[in-house]
Amino acid sequence: MRDLERVGGFLDRVLRGLGMPDPLDLNRLVDGWEDLAGEPWGTRSQPAGLDGGELVVEVDDGSIATLLTYQREALIGRLERRLGTPLVTSIKIRVARHKKGL
């Protein structure tokens, strides 16, 4: 078991060195999005990716994207306070592409 513990510690250091977030923090961000983001963003958006501190937030339409653009810094601050870590340093917003039904 000692070898597995050493490998796990080594992998954690390598992943952090590559800029990868802690898997537990990432899981908290995704699973707790509604509570972490708060209203109105928690129910009108969802996290779609995280790369080097840049969170990709997906919204349903352009009007929500416009509103969130003006509130990015407030959302980043809220996430940092709620997570207790500066996991998110910037936010990229994209409008979801929905598949058209028949």
User: What pLDDT digit, counting tens, does each position of 22-56 carry?
Assistant: 677 788 999 999 999 999 999 999 999 888 899 99
Q: What is the CATH number of the domain that holds 39?
A: 3.30.300.180
- Note whether residue 63 is domain-resident: yes
Bigger pLDDT: 99 or 53? 53
- Note whether residue 76 is domain-resident: yes
- Note whether residue 32 is domain-resident: yes
- Note whether residue 8 is domain-resident: no
- Note whether residue 7 is domain-resident: no
Range of the domain at 72: 21-95
- Note whether residue 101 is domain-resident: no
Number of domains composing the chain: 1
- Residue 12: pLDDT band with limits 50, 70, 90: low
Full-model pTM: 0.76
Q: Are 8 and 16 in contact (CB under 8 A)?
A: no
- Note whether residue 60 is domain-resident: yes
What's the CA dihedral at 85, 89, 92, 97 to 10 degrees? Answer: -20
